[in-house]
Amino acid sequence: MLSLWDVLSFLLMFYDEQESLQKVIVDIPSRTFTIVSDKGDTKQIACNAEQFMRVLEIVREMVPVTDVSYV
């Protein structure tokens, strides 16, 4: 199960002075999140139902609406 630390680390993994978060793609049917950096690097995480809802809540709180896509 994902801890809050895992989720925050995942969302901030691109954070450094040379790379930043460009968008988060939320795939509701497959319960996955894809994080895309401004340099094109991507990271995907698959969740169970409970994890998906927790990560989605954090994404909605931390990421601007314009940077989140739903598929």
pTM for the complete prediction? 0.77
DSSP 15-70: -SSS--EEEEEEETTTTEEEEEETTS-EEEEE--HHHHHHHHHHHHHHS-GGGEEE
Within 8 A by CB and 6+ apart from 65, the residues are none
State residue 43's pLDDT score. Answer: 86
pLDDT digits (tens, 9 = 90+) for 2-39: 666 666 666 666 555 677 889 999 999 999 999 898 88
